[in-house]
Amino acid sequence: MPIRIPFLKLPAVKPAIVREYQRQIERVLQRGRFILGDEVRRFEAAFAAFCGARHAVGVGNGTEALQIALRLSGVRPGQSQEVMTTPLTAAFTAHAIVAAGGRPVFADLDADTLLLDPEAARGRIGSRTAALIPVHLYGQTCDLEAFARLARRHDCTLIQDAAQAHGSNFHGRPLADFSDWVAFSFYPTKNLGALGDGGALVTNRRALAEAARRYRDGGRRGGQTAYSEAINSRLDELQAALLHVHVRHLESWNRRRETLAARYDRLLIEKFGETRGVPAAAPVRILPRTAHGRSSNHLYVIRCAKRDALRAYLLRRGIDTAVHYETPVHLQPAFRWLGYRRGDFPVAERAAREICSLPLHPFLSEGEVDAVVAEIARFYGRE
């Protein structure tokens, strides 16, 4: 019988988790409150504790988490403000910048890790730069010390896009130690995913947390009067209750991801040699682990020759893969108005042609990892 290895399995594959969902749903229904109640407060406290931060503010999704952080940092429409970020990210990072009133500006990547390069960013910061948004791509943390120095030197705000970094840290310290805002997504495929949309802002500053709570709820302070400009971006009670189920398991799920990622590393090195940081001579290259801290291992990404042919072969063998991301943001049609051209960010553009995300989730077995690597080796004649 042919193998079948899906790219992702969500926690609902575990009957015990489904039973926990049912208990939480029944409690929310019995209470009869569905927006900004006890479940949201309970989850916010649990998530802040998990992140090693003082405050978490649940919002509608990760895009609006970034948007709120930008607006509360002073980004406004019509002010010609620029926000620096990476071209190798989900388009939602740039959408959030535009929604806040800023103009996305990009810098190229570190050629090994594919994270936003602080030196490349420094060369593109200008007098209009209002904020820096490094993205902790695939769960690996950017060089937060370097970006914090850049933000201080150029008097701009550092906002971390941690949509893929639930549980990541920097040199053993919580992400919130390095900036006022850390933005998370709870899209269902994330390490900490909802059963719908959701997001959060994490901060160590009480005043900022309170400002975010007002901003997510129409600028209100408990009544029907709006005291400031704002949006409607509220994490609902049901999603908060379900997320509270997941956050209790998150550390063990992350450890499982770490174990499986290490197994991929070992097996791929056995088949293809120590290829981290090696130029294109090797048909398969592992992204090196940064020395910056622990990764959440949200995705396991390789760089490979004949990427599309490899993916088609693996699909025929019953193995699902993905690409994160096939088109850098500066080349996507939605952002053509920014004026970038092919060749502006060669590291990001080359990476987008080579990267391939392999199955990685807490419910993957060691045998499935072995099967994925065996098929990759077979494709390249490295059996």
What is the residue extent of each domain of the chain? 11-244, 250-379
* Largest distance between two CA atoms of the chain: 68
CATH number of 11-244: 3.40.640.10
State the pLDDT at residue 64: 98
Does the pLDDT value for residue 276 go beyond 70? Answer: no
Determine the Cα–Cα distance for residues 355 and 338; give it in Å rounded to an integer.
25
Cis peptide before 380 (omega within 30 of 0): no
Q: What are phi and psi of 232, to 5 degrees?
A: -105, 105
Cβ neighbours of 229 (radius 10 Å): 10
Question: Given pLDDT bands bounded at 50, 70 and 90, which one contains residue 59?
Answer: very high
Q: Mean pLDDT across the stretch 312-332?
A: 98
Q: Mean pLDDT across the stretch 56-67?
A: 98
Task: With beta carbons less than 8 A apart as the criterion, state whether 114 and 141 touch.
Answer: no
Q: Mean pLDDT across the stretch 308-312?
A: 98
Task: With beta carbons less than 8 A apart as the criterion, state whether 82 and 76 touch.
Answer: no
3-state DSSP assignment of residue 181: strand
pLDDT in tens, 201-222: 999 999 999 999 999 999 998 8
State the pLDDT at residue 236: 96
Residue 269: alpha-carbon gap to chain centroid: 26
Name the pTM for this structure. Answer: 0.97
Least confident of 157-171, 234-248, 264-278, 352-366: 264-278
- Mean of per-residue pLDDT scores for the chain: 96
State the pLDDT at residue 280: 58
Does the pLDDT value for residue 277 go beyond 80? Answer: no
Sign of CA dihedral 179, 253, 63, 342: positive
Query: 38-51 and 15-31 are packed helices; what angle lies between their axes, rounded to 10 degrees?
Result: 140
State the pLDDT at residue 291: 76
Determine the Cα–Cα distance for residues 69 and 73; give it in Å rounded to an integer.
6
Share of the chain above pLDDT 90, in %: 94
Q: Mean pLDDT across the stretch 328-352?
A: 98
The residues, any chain, with a CB within 8 Å of residue 225's CB and separated by 6 or more, are none
CATH number of 250-379: 3.90.1150.10
Determine the Cα–Cα distance for residues 107 and 347; give it in Å rounded to an integer.
10
State the pLDDT at residue 274: 72
Q: What are phi and psi of 285, to 5 degrees?
A: -125, 140
Q: Mean pLDDT across the stretch 6-25?
A: 97
Q: Mean pLDDT across the stretch 241-248?
A: 98
Q: Mean pLDDT across the stretch 336-341?
A: 98
Task: With beta carbons less than 8 A apart as the criterion, state whether 235 and 59 touch.
Answer: yes
